[in-house]
Amino acid sequence: MTRSYTIEKVRNIGIMAHIDAGKTTTTERILFYTGITYKMGEVDEGTAVMDWMALEQERGITITSAATTCSWKNHRINIIDTPGHVDFTAEVERSLRVLDGAIIIFCGVGGVEPQSETVWRQADRYQVPRLAYINKMDRVGVDPERVIEQMKTRISANPLVIQIPLGIEEKFRGVIDLVEMKEIDWGGDLLGTRLETRAISDKYQDEAQEKRNKMLEQLSDIDDRIMEKYLDGTEISSEEIKKAIRKGVISLEFIPILFGASFKNKGVHSLLDAVVDYLPSPQDIPPVKGHHPRTFDIETRRASDDEPFSGLVFKITNDPYVGSLSFFRVYSGKVKIGSWAFNATKDEEERIPRLLEMHSNKRKDIKEIYAGDIVAMGSMKNLSTGDTLCLKNHPIILEPIKFPEPVISAHIEPKSKREHSKLAEALKKLTKEDPTFKVMQDSMTGQTLVYGMGELHLEVLLDRMEREFGVKANLGKPQVAYKETITTVAEGERKHVKQTGGRGQYGHCKVVIEPLKRGVGFEFVDNTKGGTIPKEFIPSVKKGVGEAMETGVLAGFPVTDVKVTVIEGSYHEVDSSSIAYKIAGSLAFKDAASKADPVLLEPVMSLEVVTPDEYIGDIVGDINTRRGKIEKMEMRGSSRVIKAVVPLVEMFGYATTLRTLTQGRGIFSMEFFRYEPTPPQIMDDIIARIEGRISVFR
């Protein structure tokens, strides 16, 4: 069996933006025009194909990234529609890791909003080439020039304007294509299927020529042939321009700007053309890198069917019909149903029972997959997000996906005692699906603690538990997920010696701990010499240190941003064991941490408030009482925008306060910024409160 499309005609793209910018609506239009659906779904009516979960349809938001495949001009386009809400940022993170290109959608009225900045930074981190689509051009107050200016100032983008809007607000009809120098007019056709392509009218000739010259000047910076022809005044063909734009997009030199009104079915055809013309195929992306699981040598895989098979699992979902579904990107090679796939991350081999091409929550069975494909596997038992699948005789481990740490926690318990085991099973499945959702035992009370990215995140997971697993649970009041760290260098030393008759236990180690830069996490270094601790026991020391870091010395919160170096120890010929060194490592770390001036860290959020001017004083005053720092104030149309950083603990219930202060006219958005030291007085209060809880449970 051979593939029905060549790899250079494959596009793996994501659609991402701030909440309510029109991602899902745009994707629905793409599915309609490419023939995947015969009827357009609407987010507002709860009929969007890509928002298939009942929860998504009820709330009118995207919660999970949905994958689909469609065709346009003999090209295969794999699309992932991602959430816009900050609580579900992991869905964007995992999608960007496996995509070759992206469409970033900006609201023509709201411009570059906070979550737009977040997804832009994520795309920068993964070096993803992208197009910018300025949507909602039919809305009152739309200002495309302001959006383009904000792209330059807020996200340091280099926009390349390749279209001009034909009218704005209610007069928006279509676009002028500066590459082909044509008008594309959708007119009043409600379905957007009848469009007229014609020569540019006299009214727009001068503006179009001026903007085209500006576009050619930008292209001259990266293409010598365009520069020569432009300076000589020679005619430049549209094919030469497209080739130069594609080159600049793939090398991340600039971002082509397109315009549309997806809800009114205008602009989507041009956007699809741009995906085919300008975004990269898997072959245009540098070969993927990884390492050999045993030798740790750097390995690379080209996007070719002739290379050894390799792929990365980027998402696990629970399907009511198939069981566990594993979404993965094939980076190289090809593989059939019934073949053996080696999980290099877990050192396990398993037969592939089922391969599926996904269309949101619908699926089509396929027999073989090729380099560049994004597909799902059914019924694979022991896969996790970030696992690498490959051939056993050509092993490779690809770089896993990094996810943000959860910042909020709450106690959870079933509504009836009989459902304890059902709750545990549901939590286990949800943590496998969502790497930003964590479950732990409260060391003081023995209750189950769940951690997430925000109140909405935990609410949605609670709702899903009831709908998908039939488990009704009570969620306690959300609490801030504090962390602990150290501020000075300190040494710690402990022996674990136990004689019980017969063979005893002996472990002894000495460690030095030192603070790391915020956000680094944990580093472990073995600096022992002369075999004072046998090498086979060093991993046990590391494991013991890791376990000790889960509950710090101040108030039982996880410890972060610490470097631990084992410098010496001793061993016993007979009694030394892995468990003894694990315990010694744990005790030595706690000894050192108690001397290293530990402090509490609290999550600090980046806050943006948009409000009419008359409420500015009250809002600033309120932010100050919440220990917030105002960073910037600016005008956006007739409204004032306040940007601040505020501790998360002070932001519970802020939506109600803002409604009261602004008579319901203010809106806000908030996302995690970083962890910062808690002020001493507040730290003392938290520790006292924790100690009070401990004494109650003793």
> Does residue 288 register a pLDDT over 70?
yes
Name the pLDDT band for 566 (thresholds 50, 70, 90): very high
* Mean pLDDT along residues 190-201: 81
Q: What is the pLDDT of residue 698?
A: 44
d(CA 581, CA 546): 13
> Does residue 52 register a pLDDT over 80?
no
**475 lies in some domain:** no
Name the pLDDT band for 17 (thresholds 50, 70, 90): confident
| Model confidence pTM above 0.85 | no
Name the pLDDT band for 45 (thresholds 50, 70, 90): very low
**693 lies in some domain:** no
How high is the mean pLDDT of the chain?
85
**474 lies in some domain:** no
Same domain for 142 and 161? yes
What is the percent of the chain with per-residue pLDDT over 90, rounded to a whole number?
A: 42
Contact 473, 414 (CB under 8 A): yes
- Compute CA distances 115 → 99, 122, 307, 567, 669, whole Å: 19, 10, 38, 45, 8
Which pair of tokens denotes residue 230?
A: 């432009």
β-strands 101-107, 130-135 pairing = parallel
Name the pLDDT band for 326 (thresholds 50, 70, 90): confident
d(CA 302, CA 283): 8
**DSSP of 297-360, one letter per residue?**
-EEEE-S-TTSPPEEEEEEEEEETTTEEEEEEEEEESEEETT-EEEETTTTEEEE--EEEEEET
Please provide the distance, in angstroms rounded to a whole number, between the alpha carbons at the two ends of the chain: 68
Name the pLDDT band for 254 (thresholds 50, 70, 90): very high
β-strands 10-17, 75-81 pairing = parallel
Q: Minimum mean pLDDT among 36-40, 44-48, 149-153, 526-530: which range?
A: 44-48
Nearest C-alpha neighbor of 256 from the set 138, 111, 133, 127: 133
Same domain for 278 and 296? no
> Does residue 85 register a pLDDT over 90?
no
pLDDT in tens, 296-313: 889 999 999 999 999 998
**479 lies in some domain:** no
CATH number of the domain residue 506 falls in: 3.30.230.10
d(CA 645, CA 631): 7
- Compute CA distances 302 → 94, 205, 283, whole Å: 21, 46, 8
Same domain for 303 and 373? yes
Same domain for 257 and 384? no
Same domain for 44 and 63? yes
* Mean pLDDT along residues 285-300: 90
Q: What is the pLDDT of residue 246?
A: 94
Contact 222, 244 (CB under 8 A): yes
Nearest C-alpha neighbor of 45 from the set 60, 32, 66: 60
d(CA 68, CA 137): 26
* Mean pLDDT along residues 113-117: 79
**696 lies in some domain:** no
Which pair of tokens denotes residue 12?
A: 């793996």
Q: What is the pLDDT of residue 2?
A: 64
Number of domains in the chain: 5
CATH number of the domain residue 381 falls in: 2.40.30.10
CATH number of the domain residue 447 falls in: 3.30.70.870
Q: What is the pLDDT of residue 484?
A: 94
Q: Minimum mean pLDDT among 37-46, 69-78, 119-128, 488-497: which range?
A: 37-46
* Mean pLDDT along residues 147-172: 91
Same domain for 389 and 524? no
Alpha carbon of residue 265 to chain centroid: 28
* Mean pLDDT along residues 84-89: 60
Q: What is the pLDDT of residue 57?
A: 46
Q: What is the pLDDT of residue 443?
A: 66
∠ CA 605-611-613, rounded to 5°: 130
Contact 271, 277 (CB under 8 A): no
**HSE value, Cβ hemisphere, 13 Å, CA-based, for 120:** 22
Classify residue 318 as left (phi > 0), alpha (psi -120 to 50) or beta: beta
Which pair of tokens denotes residue 313?
A: 């699992």
Same domain for 186 and 65? yes
Edge-to-edge strand list for the sheet holding 298-301: 298-301, 288-291, 397-398
Q: What is the pLDDT of residue 46?
A: 44
**22 lies in some domain:** yes
d(CA 218, CA 199): 24
**259 lies in some domain:** yes
Which pair of tokens denotes residue 375?
A: 């597909």
Of the three residues 229, 255, 284, the one that is the final residue of a domain is 284
pLDDT in tens, 417-453: 888 889 998 898 888 888 888 888 876 667 888 988 8
Of the three residues 578, 597, 616, the one that is the final residue of a domain is 597
Same domain for 279 and 292? no
**403 lies in some domain:** no
> Does residue 1 register a pLDDT over 60?
no
d(CA 276, CA 280): 8
Count of CB atoms situated within 10 Å of the CB of 625: 8
Name the pLDDT band for 38 (thresholds 50, 70, 90): low
Name the pLDDT band for 53 (thresholds 50, 70, 90): very low
Q: Minimum mean pLDDT among 439-453, 546-560, 564-578: which range?
A: 439-453
Same domain for 263 and 183? yes
Which pair of tokens denotes residue 191?
A: 């379905």
Count of CB atoms situated within 10 Å of the CB of 213: 11
> Does residue 696 register a pLDDT over 70?
no
Same domain for 60 and 95? yes
Domain hosting 374: range is 288-398
* Mean pLDDT along residues 486-500: 90
pLDDT in tens, 367-391: 999 999 888 887 677 888 888 999 9
Same domain for 92 and 166? yes
Of the three residues 398, 416, 439, the one that is the final residue of a domain is 398
Same domain for 333 and 454? no
Q: What is the pLDDT of residue 186?
A: 87
pLDDT in tens, 397-408: 998 887 877 888
